[in-house]
Amino acid sequence: MESIIDVQNLSKSYNGDKVLNIEHLTIPKGQSFGLVGNNGAGKTTFFSLLLDLILPTKGHIENKGIVVSQSEDWKPYTSSFIDESFLIGYLTAEEYFYFIGDLRNTSKAEVDELLAEFQDFFYGEILNQKKYLRDLSKGNQKKAGIVAALIGNPEVVILDEPFANLDPTTQIRLKKIIKELSVKKNVTILVSSHDLMHVTEVCERVVVLDKGELVKDIHTSEATLKELELYFER
């Protein structure tokens, strides 16, 4: 299969402390990729490196053949939602979606079309609220951020902890959305989570990080959840 994300000798240190060290990692196009690990395992660091928000100490990441720290050409087909700092607090959800749409060359009508697909997911709490994003609850902010990351037909979608703060109904809906994206639209989707069940359910492949090192790389099967639980029980 054609690979889209290619990690080579990647490491990141702060004042000599290595927080991430991945020698080699390839993610094929259209894969749903799960990243698990305890606090401080390096999940967010990896995503930040992938989005060129921090500079690697050594090595590099290629996104569709483009070294992310050298060119910005990966931006048009890559989108992400990491945390609330990806939201613009003083906009309403609609205004925010249209703003992102503008940046990704997506017309208002196309954005509306996409939003219509997510009516269920929004549960009537996002659109037409006459409320600024900063005044929404954490869970609703997250919903808005996740959907915004799907605007403009991205080929790579990066979601950090998408299940945290969501209510059970929304978690189930989100799982469906992620599966569909990967299967039907051939979108490469990278997800991190603390919830082993969610990850094994939604991802074709689960990678475990521990203190910055890649310790497990599993192709998901029936036995995966057990295996992960055993690993983390130590």
Distance CA 24, CA 78 (A): 21
CB-side neighbour CA atoms (13 Å) of 21 = 10
Among 21, 92, 141, 192, binds other proteins (CB under 8 A): 92
Q: Give the chain's largest Cα–Cα span.
A: 52
Does 89 engage in binding with other proteins (CB under 8 A)? yes
The token duo for 19 is 């927080």
The token duo for 176 is 């469906």
Does 99 engage in binding with other proteins (CB under 8 A)? yes
Does 135 engage in binding with other proteins (CB under 8 A)? yes
Among 45, 63, 79, 188, binds other proteins (CB under 8 A): 79
Distance CA 207, CA 163 (A): 17
- Name the residue nearer to other proteins (CB basis): 52 or 161: 52
Does 14 engage in binding with other proteins (CB under 8 A)? no
Does 112 engage in binding with other proteins (CB under 8 A)? no
Buried-exposed string 125-161: b where 16+ CB fall within 10 A, e elsewhere? bbbebeebbeebeeebbbbbbbbbbbbbebbbbbbbb
Does 100 engage in binding with other proteins (CB under 8 A)? yes
Among 85, 116, 230, 234, binds other proteins (CB under 8 A): 85
Annotate each residue in 113-132 with x if it binds other proteins (CB under 8 A) or - if it does not, as one string.
-----------------xxx
| Site residues (vs other proteins, CB under 8 A) | 51-55, 75-76, 78-80, 82-83, 85-92, 95, 99-100, 102-105, 130-132, 134-135, 152
